Amino acid sequence: MAMIFLRQIRAGCSSRRFLSSSSSNLDLAIADLNREMESIFGEPPTQSSIHGELPSTSPINTSTAPDDPVLPECKKGLSHVDNSGNALMVDISSKEDTMRSAIASCRVLLGKLAFNLVEANQIVKGDVLNVAKIAGIQGAKQTSNLIPLCHNINLTRVDVNLILNEEDFSVEIVGEAATTSKTGVEMEAMTAVAVAGLTVYDMCKAVTKEIQITNVCLEQKSGGKSGSWSRKLSSVSDDDCI
């Protein structure tokens, strides 16, 4: 369209070279040019367009623009995160003290050589199973110092048991914690078995570095608002263990 318009202007200007430079003839030329532009654009050019100014435009209607995205609120159950994504220690002051317990487990894969030495109690550092048991109990009592948003609760019982499994040359660790408090002891039970597993590694690492600590997970819990839960009765598989 712009090329057609320019060609028409050139043609119009060429056909009017015979015009005199008088004011009246110049006015006629401008009028003819305006009619040419009107036939193409439907309206005569405005004064602002002659001087190269942009025509005024109406303000953008922002009411139809999409709203800014709103961050979704945290999913139900993420009690340690507020709606802004900040870390939050839950206020449990309104809860009542109730009896609560939890059992957790993990497995330490030793390998045949380390397993045989542990079984024969020939590890240089000493009695692996008993040292790991004490370490697990100590770990449970330090949970609130290790896990930032855990509450410091009074434990009424902590028990850690380590069982040698010759089938896969592993140590199976089971830890239990109990309290009468306003919050549960799942983290205390899981910390107990995790620290016990780390202690087994520390005691045996001189023999091999291929030891693996696997399947740290909650087995069951009781008490509190959510009631009782058992891994054996749920659909969660071992793949969900740490």
What is the set of active-site residues? Answer: 202
Q: How far apart are CA 235 and CA 223, in angstroms?
A: 21
Q: How far apart are CA 33 and CA 13, in angstroms?
A: 9
Q: Which CB contacts under 8 angstroms, 24+ apart, belong to 190-193?
A: 190/102, 190/104, 190/216, 190/217, 190/218, 191/139, 191/140, 191/142, 191/143, 191/146, 191/147, 192/104, 192/136, 192/137, 192/139, 192/140, 192/158, 192/160, 193/104, 193/105, 193/106, 193/136, 193/160
Q: How far apart are CA 60 and CA 44, in angstroms?
A: 26
Q: Max alpha carbon distance in the chain (Å)?
A: 123
Q: How far apart are CA 65 and CA 117, in angstroms?
A: 72
